[in-house]
């Protein structure tokens, strides 16, 4: 990964803050020295220096093969994928087919290095077959309405025409994932770092989804709760604004709904079951 980036400001700042924090904790923490240098050993024994030589720690940015420091994410995540080639196989076998039967858990990860290793080894959205989906959810949360973390929630989403956005969809999905694992969707936070949460209930975002269809792509952000109070509605609206401006790159006042392109809109899972359910648009 290059040291320079064209990421939106919030994901880039959050990523840098997370990396700097992880390196500082490792370098300044109670980590035994592995140096064989006699001078360093004597100095440490004499109490001349209590600082660990930062050069002993190799990040993936300095040594892509032999790095010995990982940068932990705020939460652990799981990538899921459903394979459309398996749809209908259950019916052919004479068994009942239901949503989720063909969903596959790809991998769990909890560090920056593992994320990039995963990202660089999966098929990008622009090459996904029709009806395929990627689901990136916090570990322990299944990408289904029936999961307790999602039952009372909803989703922000945007639909984009496949033929006009195929060249951009990989980048937009990457930015969405980075915003999710970098915890910037519920920003702004002081210094770009989210405050400690006492429980998962304090965190609204449960996961993000990339869907490929015959004529369009859809990116969605799932939330734990819907708009049942004014305070919650305001927090959800902030997520939508972050998604529209800092992830997708639109101006906040841009009117984008036209043809196969939808507005950036929020709808609770319960409302989405209705023929004309209530939606919130930013």
Residue 245 sits in a domain of what CATH number? Answer: 3.30.760.10
User: Does residue 73 belong to any structural domain of this protein?
Assistant: no
pLDDT of residue 228: 79
Other C-beta atoms lying within 10 Å of the C-beta of residue 81: 18
Q: What is the pLDDT of residue 253?
A: 93
**Residue entry with tokens 């980590």:** 31
> Could you tell me the end-to-end alpha-carbon distance of the chain, in angstroms, rounded to an integer?
33
Candidates 105, 214, 238; CA nearest to 166 is 214
pLDDT of the residue at 246: 94
Question: What's the confidence (pLDDT) of residue 138?
Answer: 97
How much is the pLDDT for 26? 44
Residue 121 belongs to some domain of the structure: no
Does residue 250 form part of some domain? yes
- pLDDT value for 141: 97
Instruction: Give me the phi and psi of 166, to 5 degrees please.
Output: -60, -35
pLDDT number for residue 44 = 42
Residue 198 belongs to domain spanning: 140-281
pLDDT at 30: 42
Assess if residue 171 is contained within a domain.
yes
pTM of the model: 0.75
Low-confidence ranges of the chain (pLDDT < 70): 1-55, 60, 64, 84-101, 187-201
Look at the chain and report how many structural domains it folds into: 1
> 15 lies in a domain?
no
The 10 Å CB-count burial string (b at 16+, else e) for 166-184 is: eeebebbbbbbbbbbbbbb
pLDDT at 195: 63
Inside any domain, residue 258: yes
Is position 226 within any domain? Answer: yes
Domain membership flag for residue 274: yes
């Amino acid at each position: 990964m290059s040291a320079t980036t064209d990421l939106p400001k919030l994901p880039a700042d959050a990523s840098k803050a997370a990396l700097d924090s992880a390196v500082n904790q490792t370098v300044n923490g109670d980590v035994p020295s592995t140096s064989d240098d006699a001078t360093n050993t004597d100095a440490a024994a004499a109490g001349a220096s209590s600082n660990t030589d930062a050069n002993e720690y190799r990040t993936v940015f300095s040594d892509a093969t032999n790095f010995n420091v990982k940068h932990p994410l705020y939460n652990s995540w799981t990538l899921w994928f459903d394979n459309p080639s398996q749809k209908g196989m259950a019916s052919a076998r004479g068994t009942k087919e239901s949503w989720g039967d063909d969903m596959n858990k790809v991998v769990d990860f909890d560090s920056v290095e593992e994320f990039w290793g995963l990202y660089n080894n999966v098929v990008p959205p622009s090459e996904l077959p029709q009806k395929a989906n990627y689901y990136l959810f916090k570990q322990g949360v299944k990408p289904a309405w029936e999961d307790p973390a999602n039952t009372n929630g909803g989703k922000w989403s945007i639909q984009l025409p496949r033929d006009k956005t195929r060249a951009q969809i990989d980048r937009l999905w990457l930015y969405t994932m980075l915003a999710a694992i970098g915890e910037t969707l519920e920003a702004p936070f002081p210094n770009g770092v989210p405050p400690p949460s006492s429980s998962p209930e304090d965190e609204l975002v449960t996961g993000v989804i990339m869907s490929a269809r015959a004529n369009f792509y859809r990116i969605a952000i799932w939330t734990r709760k819907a708009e049942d109070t004014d305070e919650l509605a305001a927090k959800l609206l902030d997520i939508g604004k972050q998604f529209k401006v800092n992830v997708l790159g639109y101006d906040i006042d841009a009117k984008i709904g036209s043809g196969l392109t939808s507005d950036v809109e929020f709808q609770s899972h319960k409302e989405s079951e209705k023929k004309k359910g209530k939606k919130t648009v930013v």
